[in-house]
Amino acid sequence: GIQVEQSPPDLILQEGANSTLRCNFSDSVNNLQWFHQNPWGQLINLFYIPSGTKQNGRLSATTVATERYSLLYISSSQTTDSGVYFCAVVPRNALIFGKGTTLSVSS
């Protein structure tokens, strides 16, 4: 089956710093999504981005489908950005998740 690899696995930042999270996938996909799982376990949709670039406030994402990777940019990080960031792809009809990047932002 398809492999979804996220890097780095862990990231520690000071408030105000910028970061880039990467997602590589091993085969062509129909869809790609980024999620943030907050400390209470809720999955929050960040981006639906099978290709191209999107921005939402301090967050932006780019997917290069032909090269099978996606990037999530977080600028001016805040403590509320802490949690786990998941990349998930749809090879057929359901999401397959990477292992996530755990982000800790300290003030």
Partner 1 sequence: SAVISQKPSRDICQRGTSLTIQCQVDSQVTMMFWYRQQPGQSLTLIATANQGSEATYESGFVIDKFPISRPNLTFSTLTVSNMSPEDSSIYLCSVEGRTSGMFDEQFFGPGTRLTVL
42 binds partner 1 (CB under 8 A): yes
Which member of 7, 24, 31, 60 binds partner 1 (CB under 8 A)?
31
2 binds partner 1 (CB under 8 A): no
CB 48 within 8 A of CB 106: no
Which member of 45, 56, 66, 107 binds partner 1 (CB under 8 A)?
45
Nearer to partner 1, 17 or 65 (CB): 65
24 binds partner 1 (CB under 8 A): no
- The SS3 of residue 82 is coil
CB 17 within 8 A of CB 100: no
59 binds partner 1 (CB under 8 A): no
Nearer to partner 1, 5 or 75 (CB): 5
Buried b / exposed e across 3-15, counting CB within 10 Å, b at 16+?
Answer: ebebeeeebebee
Edge-to-edge strand order for the sheet containing 52-56? 4-7, 19-25, 69-74, 59-64, 52-56
Q: Tell me which residues touch partner 1 (CB under 8 A).
A: 30-31, 33, 35, 41-43, 45, 48, 50, 86, 88, 90, 93-100
